[in-house]
A and B are shown apart, each in its own frame.
Chain A
């Protein structure tokens, strides 16, 4: 098997992993989470077994990095008023601050399950492995997450 230069891995999966990071850690920290994920992946890359699902492998690393971030954030509690402002609203649907507030308000497992299913397009068995739960539990977390997200951020049109 011919080895794949890491640059091709970044080109093929960089955008998806960035969207996963944005969904899991929020738009403000997405760039840092992406950078940590790919630097860590680069280090481990020579040991990746041929034939591995590279996208699932990257999401697994991103998941561990997000957990590390949450641990650090938990050790250094920040008063709510001092949280950095979300990125300025732009034209795209993803620039909607209310959406990110709704995503952020989900329990960690639901937010991760939604991101890995609907952004990374991973199968539930893989999501369960990443989250350390069963396939069925991963499916439930994603379903609960979607229901909560739609309740907290209803699809509608307003002036």
Chain B
């Protein structure tokens, strides 16, 4: 048996596997009421989605093109820096999103935390769920639903900044001429969701 220099042995190591300890930290943090933001990623046909939840509900869904690290940094700033990878809190959401992409679910039934949207943006989000699965509405129609028929451009902004894409269906809001328009996850993702729903 070879004896190594004790200082080297203390500092150096075959790789420490921290995965079990990190999982335990997430569990302990949740039990102690310190898990302000739990997140996980989920592979879907439109790429990896970031799912993040506070103790009140789902607070953010983000496409890969939004850069998940940037999104997590924004959550740390706007909600709380107590952000941990903690998949357990997202189990129900992940299951419903999986079912949605498998064509077995047309609406979501999970608690939402809409703190990242306020004012008119919040009013727009509140009306997105009025657009049924498999159908679309124009930006102008959503502006009317939200009580400000002239605010067509603001509806576009609200959709572009939707903190909960897929779950709050801003992909169902399209241009008056029938073309798809912009989407936070990219035009291809919007197209894919509408094809999945049989609306395009």
Contact = CB atoms under 8 A, between A and B. Distances in A.
Interface of A: 2-8, 10, 14-15, 18-19, 22-23, 31, 34-35, 38-39, 42-43, 45-46, 90-94, 96, 98-99, 102-103, 114-115, 118-119, 146, 149-150, 153-159
Contacts of B29: 39, 42
B17 to A, nearest CB: 10
B9 A2 contact: no
Interface of B: 1-16, 18, 21-22, 24-25, 28-29, 32, 34, 37, 39, 72-77, 80-85
Given A39-B34, A45-B81, A118 B7 contact: yes
Nearest to B20: A31
Given A103-B6, A115-B10, A118-B11, A35 B25 contact: yes
A154 B9 CA distance: 12
B25 A38 contact: yes
Contacts, number: 127
Name the prevailing secondary structure of the A interface residues.
helix
B6 A150 contact: yes
A114 B32 contact: no
Given A96-B9, A102-B6, A150-B6, A3 B21 contact: no
Contacts of A46: 80-82
B46 to A, nearest CB: 24
A38 B20 CA distance: 13
Contacts of A34: 21
Contacts of B28: 35, 39
A122 to B, nearest CB: 12
A99 B6 CA distance: 7
List the 10 closest pairs (A to B, CB-CB), nearest first.
A5-B83, A3-B76, A93-B4, A93-B9, A3-B77, A92-B14, A5-B76, A3-B81, A5-B72, A119-B11
Contacts of B11: 19, 118-119
A112 B2 CA distance: 26
B81 A4 contact: yes
Contacts of B76: 2-6
Contact of B14 (A10, A94, A150): A94
A60 B37 CA distance: 25
A22 B95 CA distance: 39
Contacts of B21: 14, 18, 31, 34-35, 38
A151 to B, nearest CB: 10
A34 B9 CA distance: 19
Given A7-B72, A10-B18, A45-B81, 7 more contacts: A14-B18, A35-B24, A46-B82, A94-B10, A146-B7, A153-B6, A155-B6
Given A10-B25, A14-B18, A96-B3, A114 B73 contact: no
Contacts of A14: 18, 21-22
B187 to A, nearest CB: 29
Nearest to B9: A93
A14 B39 CA distance: 19
Contact of B25 (A15, A39, A94, A150): A39
